[in-house]
Amino acid sequence: MAELRMREALRDAMAEEMRRDESVFVMGEDVGVFRGAFKVTDGLLDEFGERRVRDTPISENTIVGAGVGAAMNGLRPIVELMTVNFSLLALDQIINHAAAIPYMFNGQAKVPMVIRMPGGGGHQLGPTHSHSFEALYLQVPGLLVACPSTPGDAKGLLKSAIRDDNPVVFIEHESLYGVKGEVDDGEELVPFGEARVRREGSDVTIVGILKMANVAMEAAETLAREHGVEAEVIDPRTLRPLDLDTILASVAKTNHAVIVEEGWPHGGVGANLSALITEQAFDDLDAPPQRVTGADVHMPYSKRLEQAAIPHQEHIVSAALATLEGAMA
């Protein structure tokens, strides 16, 4: 085991897969000479050269479209988009082509590509660089969606994504790039569709998405220390496929559920999970599931307003106590 920052873990995953398979290459804006907007591709150009680390024009639709074509012709592109908001410019290629082509060609054509995109608030980058669009891509059949919260999971999931024959939307939280954690030195892969129980508990299940899995861990410690409440924290790690069985098993044990995400409240990941839990674990619930989400606003630039728009551990603590109080009402 080594302790790495998340950006280093992601870089190592790409470098290892590029050494393993010559069909793997990286493309995107400033991924080569500039080493990536968040320095995730640092060192790749020096090792692999311009043929396999390709700086592109500023045109997301073109970048992803070129990736789709390359994937259909036997390569395994890793496409980096500078921010999740810019992926909106490539929705036609992501949804109508990358996701749909294997279906339209009855599996005869595959699109084995990874589209990496950072998102999330907290860096005063304003509304066009800071949103959380996990729910947007979660809706699309044919896409896999990964949302790692730790360096170890980030490396293992990215290696799995690169080897998968399906298109993968790989969402990285901007605030986590500098976070350190233990990372496996070898070839350990993290399979898609297997959630991780980050903390065992018996009183309430807290499901945290991306950075919110880490904030949920902080909230769980506060709940235990100040309120005597033992929370079980689950990190889904991938939203499509979703390991619903692990979540339902936890709810069957705790009889309470809180879902935490940074995205908007309407039609979000939390809304989807809340519906699934209510539909499939209704008899296990002692109170309705609680959702903690980002504010229903565009992400502010002002630091104070931005922080007010993002969930924090005190919001998770309040939601957990509310669902427990609801059971006693």
What domains appear along the chain, each with residue ranges and CATH number?
A: 2-183 (3.40.50.970), 196-328 (3.40.50.920)
Report pLDDT digits (tens) over 230-257: 999 999 999 999 999 999 999 999 999 9
Secondary structure (DSSP) of 172-225: EEGGGTT-EEEE-SS-----TT--EEEE--SSEEEEE-THHHHHHHHHHHHHHH
pLDDT of residue 184: 87
pTM comes to 0.96
Q: Mean of the pLDDT values across residues 92-111?
A: 96
Residue by residue, DSSP assigns 288-323 as --EEE---SSPPPSSHHHHHHHS--HHHHHHHHHHH
The β-bridge relationship of strands 180-183 and 2-5 is antiparallel
Catalytic residue (choose from 17, 29, 60, 134): 60
Q: What angle do CA 233, 239, 244 make, to 5 degrees?
A: 60
* Distance linking the first and last C-alpha atoms of the chain: 48
Cα torsion 312, 313, 318, 322: sign: positive
pLDDT, position 186: 77
Query: What's the pLDDT band for 326 if we cut at 50, 70, 90?
Result: low
Instruction: Give residue 248's pLDDT.
Output: 98
pLDDT of residue 287: 95
Q: What is the pLDDT of residue 163?
A: 98
- Is the pLDDT score of 327 beyond 70? no
pLDDT at 329 exceeding the cut of 70: no
Determine phi and psi for 297, rounding to 5 degrees: -145, 160
The arithmetic mean of pLDDT across residues 164-168, rounded, is 98
**Annotated active-site residue in 97, 129, 131, 256:** 129
The overall average pLDDT reported for the chain is: 96
For the record, the structure tokens of 255 come out as 């009889």
Q: What is the pLDDT of residues 31-82, one digit of tens each?
A: 999 999 999 999 999 999 999 999 999 999 999 999 999 999 999 999 999 9
> Is 123 among the residues known to form the active site?
no
Please report the pLDDT score of residue 160 as a whole number.
Answer: 98
| β-strands 144-146, 238-240 pairing | antiparallel
Q: Which of 172, 192, 167, 171 is nearest to 67 (CA)?
A: 167
- The per-residue pLDDT for 81 is 97
Which residues lie across from 144 on neighbouring strands?
Answer: 168
pLDDT digits (tens, 9 = 90+) for 112-150: 999 999 999 999 999 999 999 999 999 999 999 999 999
User: Is residue 188 very low, low, confident or very high in pLDDT (cuts 50, 70, 90)?
Assistant: confident
Residue 1 pLDDT grade (very low, low, confident, very high; cuts 50, 70, 90)? confident
- 173 within 8 A of 211, measured Cβ to Cβ: yes
